[in-house]
């Protein structure tokens, strides 16, 4: 249904561009005084079906959500024209930026800084099965600081089925691919050709293919004739240009392979040295007022508590409170121990068997370690008092320049980090292949898991010796130790490189969790799937009805693939959160009930007794306060279930 009179929400400021498909207006959105771009596309000559197709295409484009893609706000029909409201990029186009350089070549670092952002954006577009079909420097926009790149103008983009190819010859002539010149079908490889043209233009400040007329231009494109770029640039960059501009589409590397090249990996890691890091570091100086962040991972417990700001009183000198406090217990610590802090705010923490790590608000990784042997030692003078040696010392991870960490997870002797660009990095012990680098070598510094560079990862979870990772497209990957079926791959084999995990039909992973020898997934509709060891029914895989004891044939010892929970009531109720321990688990439903299940030898299920209870207890226990996620303690024992009512 076409919307009418929507332009009343906007105030037109000026026309900023005209093209074959319409007029581009800079407008002020009255509701929030924000500058936006409105693209006006005449549709008077369109049929009803063409109008509907155009509107449907706009709806799909609005689903694109990436920091390097111009954001789409809405579309509507006004004055016989399709109006598309989108994000305004005040830094102009990349073409204008290049033109202002005259003959002053860009530094290779600057070229790659722009290129990898375009690369990330195009990969995001292609994962949605959309061809841009008009990628060029005029359609690549810059922020006001000319540091952030955003691709736009999807006016002639083509939405593809997974196997389809587009035939229509469209796009700017200087950037069209050889297969388009021949009238052959094409797919994403034509966008990769255009990407090569953009990279060439960044390196030479001129177009790869130009001619006085269209036939001469087509001849140049068909022959692949272009002047070589300056030898001041590295052989790797020059070779990348040649590979992107290969005449044969099959010889052009896919985007995932381009990302995995060392040339691009370095640029990806350095991306946030210049983009956003200054602003984020400034934010460290302010005191937050948000709730505590729930800790993650198994092993010894670590909790981060953000300190609230102190109300301002009369002007007086005072020592500011710490930006955050972090406590740890377990693993030999019988009571919570406040860990030494650097002058920073920690927003997320994780702990493994031997290591403790946290992420600061500015995206730095902080580690807490046992002090070196002999620290503070030496011969004491007579009468001197022995100073107690600190149990932990804190330090920032060395060599993290240009990398912004978003989340950290710890396993036994290894750590996995997720950057804000969706890249997973691991370090520590390489036993069991837990680092995902295709080997069993130990690595002391965070290193990119190269097999996942073609994906935008949104979550990583570590078990004792295995890892699960989830992408924005709900693709699930697993690696590490595989006995018991904990990887969900249908076998007990271990893998030192990420393997894509098949999902049962009709399920989409929303969150992944790792136990010591098991794994669990929360799906989009709020169901849970589990795999690995089900000892003590700690995964809820036994086919157990309320108030009944499962028969032997209803008990599941282990699951090699992700399997829906079979124990009532968790096989029916929608789940909000789940967490896994060594021998027991907990789940919170959307209705506010908390169910604990598995071993209760040490009273870890929250019941008043520790004896074995084989059936599910429907009676409500005394209410317990609940804040954040439930964390499990290591334990062994018998099987029991209990439901708790949660207070707000």
Rounded CA-CA distance 251/646 in Å is 59
Provide the pairing of β-strand 365-369 with 584-589: unpaired
Where are the alpha helices (H) located in 128-182, listed in sequence order?
Answer: 178-181
Task: Let me know if 134 is a catalytic residue.
Answer: yes
Q: Which helix (H) or strand (E) holds 87?
A: strand 81-87
Provide the pairing of β-strand 518-523 with 528-533: antiparallel
How would DSSP label each residue in 174-228? GG--HHHHTT--B-HHHHHHHHHHHHHHHHHSS-SS--SSHHHHHHHHHHT--PP
422, 529, 444, 519: which is closest to 480 by C-alpha? 519
193, 233, 232, 226: which is closest to 112 by C-alpha? 233
3-state secondary structure of 53: helix
Rounded CA-CA distance 133/141 in Å is 16
Show the beta-strand stretches assigned E in 463-572. 466-471, 476-480, 495-500, 509-514, 518-523, 528-533, 558-564
Instruction: Give the count of beta carbons closer than 10 Å to the beta carbon of residue 71.
Output: 18
For residue 140, list its beta bridge partners: 151
Sequence-distant (≥ 6) Cβ neighbours of residue 614 within 8 angstroms: 549, 550, 639, 640
43, 35, 39: which is closest to 11 by C-alpha? 35
Structure tokens at 410: 């710890």
Q: Which of 79, 134, 542, 593 is catalytic?
A: 134
Structure tokens at 197: 């043209």
Structure tokens at 462: 């570590």
Provide the pairing of β-strand 639-647 with 624-625: parallel
Rounded CA-CA distance 459/453 in Å is 14
Instruction: Give the count of beta carbons closer than 10 Å to the beta carbon of residue 623.
Output: 10
3-state SS track over 255-315? HHHHHHCHHHHHHHHHHHHHCCHHHHHHHCCCCCCCCCECCECCCCEEEEEECCCCCCCCC
Instruction: Give the count of beta carbons closer than 10 Å to the beta carbon of residue 545.
Output: 15
Q: Which residues are catalytic?
A: 134
């Amino acid at each position: 249904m076409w919307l009418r009179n929507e332009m009343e929400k906007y105030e037109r400021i000026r026309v900023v561009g005209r093209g074959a498909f319409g007029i581009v207006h800079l407008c002020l959105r009255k509701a929030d005084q924000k500058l936006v771009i409105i693209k006006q596309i005449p549709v008077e000559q369109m049929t009803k079906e063409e109008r509907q197709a155009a509107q449907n295409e706009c709806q799909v484009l609005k689903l694109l959500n990436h920091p390097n893609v111009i954001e789409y706000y809405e579309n509507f029909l006004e004055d016989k024209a399709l109006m598309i409201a989108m994000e305004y990029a005040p830094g102009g186009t990349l073409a204008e930026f290049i033109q202002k350089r005259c003959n002053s070549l860009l530094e290779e670092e600057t070229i790659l800084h722009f290129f990898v952002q375009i690369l990330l954006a195009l990969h995001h577009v292609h994962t949605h099965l959309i061809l841009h079909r008009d990628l060029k420097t005029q359609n690549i926009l810059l922020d006001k600081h000319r540091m952030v790149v955003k691709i736009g103008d999807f006016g002639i983009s083509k939405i593809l089925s997974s196997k389809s190819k587009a035939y229509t010859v469209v796009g700017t002539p200087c950037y069209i691919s050889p297969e388009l010149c021949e009238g052959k079908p094409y797919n994403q490889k034509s966008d990769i050709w255009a990407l090569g043209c953009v990279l060439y233009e960044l390196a030479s400040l001129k177009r790869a293919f130009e001619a006085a007329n269209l036939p001469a231009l087509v001849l140049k494109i068909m022959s692949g004739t272009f002047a070589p770029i300056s030898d001041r640039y590295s052989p790797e960059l020059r070779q990348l240009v040649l590979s992107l501009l290969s005449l044969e589409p099959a010889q052009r590397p896919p985007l995932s392979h381009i990302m995995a090249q060392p040339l691009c990996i370095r640029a990806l890691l350095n991306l946030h040295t210049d983009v956003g890091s200054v602003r984020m570091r400034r934010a460290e100086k302010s005191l937050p007022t948000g709730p505590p962040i729930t800790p993650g991972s198994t092993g010894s417990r670590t909790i981060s508590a953000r300190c609230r700001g102190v109300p301002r009183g009369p002007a007086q000198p005072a020592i500011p409170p710490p930006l955050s406090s972090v406590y740890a217990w377990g693993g030999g610590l019988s009571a919570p121990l406040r860990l030494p802090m650097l002058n920073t705010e920690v927003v997320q923490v994780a702990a493994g068997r031997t290591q403790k790590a946290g992420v600061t608000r500015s995206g730095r990784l902080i580690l807490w370690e046992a002090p070196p042997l002999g620290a503070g030692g030496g011969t004491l003078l007579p009468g001197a008092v022995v100073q107690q040696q600190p149990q932990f010392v804190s330090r920032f991870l060395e060599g993290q320049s240009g990398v912004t960490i978003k989340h950290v997870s710890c396993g036994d002797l290894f750590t996995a980090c997720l950057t804000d660009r969706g890249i997973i990095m691991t370090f520590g012990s390489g036993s069991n292949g837990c680092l995902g680098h295709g080997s069993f070598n130990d690595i002391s510094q965070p290193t990119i898991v190269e097999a996942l560079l073609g994906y935008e990862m949104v979550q990583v979870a570590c078990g004792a010796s295995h890892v699960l990772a989830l992408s924005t497209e709900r693709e699930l990957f697993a690696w590490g130790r595989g006995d018991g079926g904990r990887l969900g791959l249908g076998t007990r084999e271990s893998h030192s490189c990420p393997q894509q995990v098949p999902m049962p039909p009709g399920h989409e992973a929303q969150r992944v969790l790792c136990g010591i020898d098991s794994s669990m997934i929360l799906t989009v509709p709020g169901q849970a799937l589990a795999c690995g060891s089900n000892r003590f029914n700690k995964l809820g895989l036994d086919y157990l009805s309320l108030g009944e004891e499962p028969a032997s044939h209803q008990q599941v010892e282990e699951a090699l693939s992700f399997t829906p929970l079979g124990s009532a009531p968790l096989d029916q109720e929608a789940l909000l959160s789940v967490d896994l321990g060594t021998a027991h688990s907990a789940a919170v439903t959307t209705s506010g009930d908390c169910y604990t299940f598995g071993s209760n030898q040490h009273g870890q299920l929250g019941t008043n007794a520790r004896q074995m209870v084989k059936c599910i207890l429907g009676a409500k226990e005394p209410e317990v306060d609940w804040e954040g996620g439930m964390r499990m303690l290591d334990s062994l024992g018998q099987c029991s279930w209990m439901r708790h009512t949660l207070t707000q």
